[in-house]
Amino acid sequence: MVAGNRIWTAALVVIGDEILSGRTQDRNVAQIATWLNVQGIRLAEVRIVPDVEERIVEAVNALRHTHDYLFTTGGIGPTHDDITVDSIAAALGVPVVVHPEGRAILEAYYAGRGGLTEARLRMARVPEGAELISNRVSRAPGIRIENIFIMAGVPHITAGMLDGLTGTLEGGRPVVSLTIGGFIAESDVADLLREAERAHAGENGGVSIGSYPFFREGRVGSNFVVRSEEEARARACIDALMRALTAAGFEVVEGGI
Amino acid sequence: MVAGNRIWTAALVVIGDEILSGRTQDRNVAQIATWLNVQGIRLAEVRIVPDVEERIVEAVNALRHTHDYLFTTGGIGPTHDDITVDSIAAALGVPVVVHPEGRAILEAYYAGRGGLTEARLRMARVPEGAELISNRVSRAPGIRIENIFIMAGVPHITAGMLDGLTGTLEGGRPVVSLTIGGFIAESDVADLLREAERAHAGENGGVSIGSYPFFREGRVGSNFVVRSEEEARARACIDALMRALTAAGFEVVEGGI
């Protein structure tokens, strides 16, 4: 692979019984995926595991060496079911310590709110050697250790932590994604899609075309998404696809529908 | 473990570049988790993988032996990026064949719609030995082979396939889940939660209490979810928690807020 074209990847471990029970709809996968893409990093795998230390350790150790970055969400609050810090420390074989800066943040915050109890102090615990990720949205910081980024479960707090990380992680070229769509049955255009993808193959993975069918207003339709690391190639492919679909008599909407 | 108390588990492999790119918000994890719980089966792990055969094979083979059931969603349409059937056949070491009943369904459907093209016939392909899962919502059937259930990516089509499976999978006792909540900072009640969980421990895992903080209308709050396979135990625990929170001066809402 040519220098500069290295593909940077990340994995995400979502820690949460509430997601696996169906009680809570996860929003962090989409949020982190979108954010990563802007950093030029590709989300390559997600695992959702229960609040069980050995399952968290297993997932973290399976993914932290095979990707440039590993994110986790969930389980960093003050209650007994928040075991992410302990689990990641166990995965890395380091002890859990109280981070002095984290303690100072909590002390200041709880000064007029009953003081820093043992439960509250839990939120300043980190795997030894970790640094904090600043968070302008709420006071709770995220945690970074090695290539692991430990984020909150509550999506808008995670957003604050991502904001604190923006521009700090090395990545490659963001994947460019262009969409067209219409009330077109994907089975009517399968050959045409395959042909367009093949015609725009290239050295760096060329383009990939995804076909996403939907049913709306009682009608069948599809959106077609062209992804590439090369904007010109993505543009050429989507233009060719547009022409081919139009020539075949379909009404196509740029940007998708 | 006493007979009748066996815990049945399922894993889910979500196949989809569109989820990993952040373009599409997954809805199948929550939908399948909720459905499984009614069947007395616990969703124990989810992996989201890209549209890459070797990654699908790896996930399927890692999970199909360690859980009673394995579900997949996505990648069973007519286009070139639909590679789930081929990948699962590869994982199982069986060839891909055209299912006669699947072919008949498609022939009937496309009779007045231009006929059964090669692309459309792709949707009748199954790993050899598979049976179809009926689907009243759309014509597209799901696929079952061994303990693997291959579902659509479009959530309402998956819903139809789940409907076709309802009551057909052996499970255990559904997990009972009871919720209370209030504008309570979880760090104020962490000890109380831990104590309630400990006091209601039992042979079959007892209860687990999850604490889910939120920020709403400018205020901090939390919902507390008690889960147990024994309804009486879950009820006793939530009642005790309710009393303890009320005695500590908190306003608590049954059912959560």
ipTM above threshold 0.85: yes
Residue B2: the pLDDT is 43
A142 in Cβ contact with A88 (< 8 Å): no
Distance from the Cα of A45 to chain B's closest Cα (Å) equals 5
| Best residue of B14, B32, B57, B80 to probe chain A, by most A CBs closer than 10 Å | B80
The yes-or-no verdict on residue B3 having pLDDT over 60 is: no
Instruction: Give the pLDDT confidence score for residue A54 in this predicted structure.
Output: 97
| B219 lies within 8 A of chain A by CB | no
With contact defined as beta carbons under 8 Å apart, do B37 and B164 qualify?
no
pLDDT value for B1: 41
pLDDT of residue A4: 55
Beta bridge pairs of residue A47: A13, B47
pLDDT tens, residue by residue, B62-108: 999 999 999 999 999 999 999 999 999 999 999 999 999 999 998 99
pLDDT at A189: 95
Rounded Cα distance between B37 and B53, Å, is 30
Query: Given an 8 Å threshold on Cβ–Cβ distance, is B81 in contact with A211?
Result: yes
Of A35, A80, A197, the CB nearest to B80: A197
DSSP E strands, B74-205? 96-98, 125-127, 131-133, 142-145, 148-151, 176-182
Rg over CA atoms, chain A: 22
Domains, chain B, with CATH or none: 8-165 (3.40.980.10), 176-254 (3.30.70.260)
- Neighbour count for residue B235 (Cβ, 10 Å): 15
Q: Nearest by CB to B46, which of A48, A156, A208?
A: A48
**Rounded (10°) angle between helices B28-38 and B155-165:** 10
- What DSSP line would sit under A236-253, residue for residue? HHHHHHHHHHHHTT---E
Q: Compute the CA torsion angle A223, A187, B96, B36 (nearest 10 deg).
A: 50
> Which of the two residues, A169 and B4, has the higher pLDDT score?
A169
Q: How far is CA B19 from CA A29, A90, B25, in A?
A: 8, 30, 6
Torsion angle of the four alpha carbons B231, B232, B237, B243, in this order, in degrees rounded to the nearest 10 = 120
Q: Which residues of chain A have pLDDT under 50?
A: 1-3
B203 interface with A at CB cutoff 8 Å: no
> What is the model's pLDDT at position B182?
96
Instruction: Please list, residue by residue across A136-163, b when 16 or more beta carbons sit within 10 angstroms of its beta carbon and e when fewer do.
Output: ebbbbbbbbbeebbbbbbbbebbbbbbe
Would you state the pLDDT for residue A3? 43
The model's pTM is 0.91
> How high is the pLDDT of residue A204?
61
Helix (H) or strand (E) holding A198: helix A190-199
Tokens 């989810």 -> residue: B46
CA distance B35 to chain A (A): 9
